[in-house]
Amino acid sequence: MRFDILSIFPGALRGLLSVGILGQAQAAGLIDVRLHDLRAFTDDPHRIVDDRPYGGGAGMLMKVEPFVRGIETIKADSGSNVRTILLSPQGRLFRQSDAADWARLDGLILLCGRYEGVDERVIGFVDEEISIGDYVLAGGEAAAAVVVEATARMTPGVVGKFDSIESDSFYEKPRLGAPQYTRPPEFRGLRVPEVLLSGDHAKIEAFREAEAWKKTTRNRPELLGLSLEETTEDG
């Protein structure tokens, strides 16, 4: 699978996307990550990518033309089954199911905004506007890295043991992953639950499932349609 990222700071992503399983997946030819400098798609001597917003207001907006030229150039050199995503705090929330769906594509084109955002007309040239959370970042580079890693993990062969993915938070069920433990069995009076040391795989599986739902109720009650007040009242 191919990932194309349009950014004014492509170097900021180079190290992050070349280590761990992402670096190994690229070396093995399982994924192809290409970083593009948005300024390369400008047509003026100063390579300007932003301007003042019409109607006034603070800050600068990113211009529509460089993004559109970048999208069109990348699409001319990519597969037919490609999706273009604008990373934006105004988009719908990115989900694990998106990562699973997008891993079946030939590629993703990810657009990284900066400053006060992008010209709204960019929306007409993308497939979706996606946010990774209810907060605002300085730019879309961190969000692009999140999308690449989450989607790459769902690509066959990237993660050595698919069991690792099946135990992830949000995989198939709307719940968090179960708590995990490793050696030593006791640390400063804190013991690993005895059931995990028992060797009884049926009991271990049941324990992990129950603990996963408990953790979800405590930390992410909205996934279960509960309010924080309801979980507090239940103890």
Q: Compute the distance between CA of residue 212 and CA of residue 193 in angstroms, rounded to an integer.
A: 14
Reduce the DSSP state of residue 89 to 3 states and report it: strand
pLDDT of the residue at 233: 57
**CA 169 to each of CA 79, 81, 219: distance values in angstroms, whole numbers, following the listed order:** 31, 28, 12
pTM: 0.85
From the candidates 114, 153, 175, 208, give the one annotated as an active-site residue: 153
Would you place residue 159 in the very low, low, confident or very high pLDDT band (cuts 50, 70, 90)? confident
* Residue 31 in this model has a pLDDT that exceeds 80: yes
CA dihedral 202, 207, 208, 211 (to 10 degrees): 160
From the candidates 53, 89, 174, 221, give the one annotated as an active-site residue: 89
**Would you call 116 a catalytic residue per the annotation?**
yes
Q: What pLDDT digit, counting tens, does each position of 102-113 carry?
A: 999 999 999 999
From the candidates 50, 116, 129, 149, give the one annotated as an active-site residue: 116
**CB–CB of 66/38 below 8 Å?**
yes
**Would you call 153 a catalytic residue per the annotation?**
yes
Give the rounded percent of residues in the chain with a pLDDT score beyond 70: 90
Q: Compute the distance between CA of residue 63 and CA of residue 230 in angstroms, rounded to an integer.
A: 46
Q: What pLDDT digit, counting tens, does each position of 183-207 carry?
A: 999 999 999 999 999 999 999 999 9
Give the rounded percent of residues in the chain with a pLDDT score beyond 90: 77
Q: What is the mean pLDDT of residues 83-109?
A: 96
Which domains are assigned to the chain? 2-153 (3.40.1280.10), 173-233 (1.10.1270.20)
User: Residue 79: phi, psi to the nearest 5?
Assistant: -70, 175
pLDDT of the residue at 230: 63
* Residue 167 in this model has a pLDDT that exceeds 80: no
